[in-house]
Amino acid sequence: MADVAQAASASKPLLYHYFPTKSDLYLAAVRAAAAELREATTPSRDLAPARRVERALEAHLDWVEANAVAYRAILQGGVSSHPEVQAIIEGSRADVVARLAEEFGFDELRPEERVVIRGWVGFLEGVCLDWLAAGDLSKPQLVRILTASLAVVEPAVRAGTVGDDQLR
């Protein structure tokens, strides 16, 4: 806490006034990171839909690269199992699901549609963690891969609207 106070040019008592525990400080940092990522990945509605998605993916990768240590810690660190951290992470995932559903033209998702998009969000996280660890793909290559994967996800989401009786 002393290092954080010094980096913030604040006194330790002031820091403890706003963040009584290290856990409170960590949760505030995770909340701030989630809000920052959300803001960074919200492209202008003036862009064409395909460009909006591409721009959001570029911004996502820019943020992940700039915050690699925090990204890994939030998704893979021991504190990531804390229920409040999990709630923040799940809120961020739900936001991505909602944004993609809107991009695909869905007002409300049925469970079978939601699970497809939610699976892609897990794919996105896994791809980003691999990219950070391996470092053997360029950002433009990764954007192309992620964009292409969404081209497969959208029809899969739409297939979820087909009833079981129609599949026989």
* pLDDT computed for residue 15 by the predictor: 81
d(CA 85, CA 30): 7
Instruction: Tell me the fold of 22-162.
Output: Tetracycline Repressor; domain 2 (1.10.357)
Which of 89-107 are b and which e, b meaning 16 or more Cβ less than 10 Å from the residue's Cβ? beebbebbbebbbebbebe
* pLDDT computed for residue 21 by the predictor: 87
DSSP-derived secondary structure letter, 73: H
CB atoms within 10 A of CB 67: 16
* pLDDT tens digits, one per residue of 51-64: 999 999 999 999 99
DSSP-derived secondary structure letter, 46: T
Q: What is the pTM of this model?
A: 0.85
Domain boundaries, the chain: 22-162
